[in-house]
Amino acid sequence: MIRSMILATMLLVPLTNCNAADLSGSWCGSWESSCTGHHGPLRACFSKCGDSQYFVTFSGRFFKIMPFRYSVTLDAVDEGDTVKLSGSSFLGRLFGTFTYQADATSSEFNAAYSSCKDQGCFRLHKCCE
């Protein structure tokens, strides 16, 4: 009798698919260079590209007044409620190629970046839209 009740309960409880968060949307935060100590505001717009990539446009300021903006496609791997992201972008001869490794949840994005001239981090949180 108890086995029947347990089985019936298991059949009535829907199975949930534990997908990682969809990161699409606007993000706000900051960046910081661990080499120079420079830092500044940072915004990002994430757009999902299929099941395993995001197209991300980053914009911010350098030296408090110099704006920058660039886009990168990041490969995404779901790991429970976390998304692991990685990718690279060439930002011209002056800055070179930047590589990114990041962990994200539905509300936080933390990335390490590096290039031949710099390395540091991005810390973002989901913006209220």
Provide DSSP, 68-99. EEEEEEEEEEEETTEEEEEEEEE-HHHH-EEE
Look at 70 and 16; give whichever has higher pLDDT.
70
Report CA 103 to chain centroid distance, whole Å: 6
Please tell me the pTM assigned to this model. Answer: 0.79
Instruction: Please state, as a whole number, how many other Cβ atoms lie within 10 Å of the Cβ of residue 66.
Output: 9
The CATH T-level fold of domain 18-126 is Lipocalin (2.40.128)
Q: Which residues contact 51 (CB under 8 A, 6 or more apart)?
A: none
Task: Give me the mean pLDDT over the 18-25 stretch.
Answer: 77
Give per-residue pLDDT as tens, 29-78. Answer: 999 999 998 999 999 999 999 889 999 999 999 888 889 999 999 999 99
Q: What is the mean pLDDT of the chain?
A: 85
The pLDDT value given to residue 96? 86
Give per-residue pLDDT as tens, 67-122. Answer: 999 999 999 999 988 999 999 999 888 888 999 999 999 999 999 999 998 999 99
- Give yes or no for residue 15 having a pLDDT over 70: no
The pLDDT value given to residue 13? 40
Strands (E) across the chain are located at 25-33, 39-49, 53-62, 66-79, 82-90, 97-104, 108-114, 119-126
